[in-house]
Amino acid sequence: MSKSPFLNQVRTELRTRQYSLRTEKSYLHWIKCFIRFHDLSHPQKMGNQEIEHFLNHLAVDRHVSAATQNQALCAIIFLYRHVIGREIVDLRYQNTRTPKRIPTVLGEEEVKMVMAHLKGKYWLITAILYGAGLRIQEALSLRVKDIDFASQAIFIFNGKGRKDRYSLLPKSLFEPLKSQIEVVKKIHQQDISQGAGMSSVPPAIYRKYKDSLKTQGWQFLFPSTHRCMHPYDGYLCRHHLHASAYARQLRQAVSASNIVKRVTAHTFRHSFATRLLENGTDIRTVQELLGHTDLRTTEIYTHVVGNRRAGTISPVDFL
């Protein structure tokens, strides 16, 4: 916990409203930046002018992205609405519109090239991203019990927007997944022999299933290398692999593949959706598999497919 009673109050409010740990860390970061920017003045004594000054500083002086500006604004609005107890109105600053861009997509050969330079769990994570269209945090948060070989489905618990859904479980991944589950089993047995064996779970699940959390089904499919103390409930547990560890391996694989496109974990999700549409999958099915609330979010992939299938020939090709 922070030494500041005020920041502890903010943290308590975030946890009471069940914000994710990532959001908690992000909001606390921006709130601290806001307070430090104004020479440690208490937010109670500040208002619209100070908020606008800080947000303009981020945009003009620090050149942060539109998404980062919006995140900082959301953190400050949360602070005043739920902690200070004051609504911020007539703010001369609106959410910055994030530019709509066509997503970067890899072709099948490019995917093969990248995956050829990945091994073990990093290869398997990439295969799940591309084969099931998961976000990186969804893939890393998978537990052994979420893999349903009988139904050929992957269960995604509490995905973006706090929604549960199912996605495809590719048949070609059956054996690699079973091998990974055996790895998890060995790590889990070692933890139990050392008096541990608990998996990291949200507080509400901890209270409800506390006696079951040492079972193999609750263990993460891609466990972290080291155990840690749970940030909320304080018990010794094993969390999942950190996204930065995967990102590091992916950068190396992309570099070794000599691919000039900007490739991130999300690129495989984009490629999954595009490939399904190219193969004639109904867009509503793609929307369901991706977990999109709004069909318009899914429709962006039709632009990628359209660009490739329009059949338009460039004039230079006639020369």
Point out the residues that are catalytic.
135, 160, 266, 269, 292, 301
HEC string for the chain: CCCCHHHHHHHHHHHHCCCCHHHHHHHHHHHHHHHHHCCCCCHHHCCHHHHHHHHHHHHHCCCCCHHHHHHHHHHHHHHHHHHHCCCCCCCCCCCCCCCCCCCCCCCHHHHHHHHCCCCHHHHHHHHHHHHHCCCHHHHHCCEHHHEECCCCEEEEEEECCCEEEEEECCHHHHHHHHHHHHHHHHHHHHHHHCCCCCECCCHHHHHHHHHHCCCHHHCECCEEEEEEECCCCCCEEEEECCHHHHHHHHHHHHHHHCCCCCCCHHHHHHHHHHHHHHCCCCHHHHHHHHCCCCHHHHHHHHHHHHHHHCCCCCHHHHC
CA dist 7 and 3 (Å) reads 8
Chain centre distance of CA 45:
35
CA dist 304 and 230 (Å) reads 42
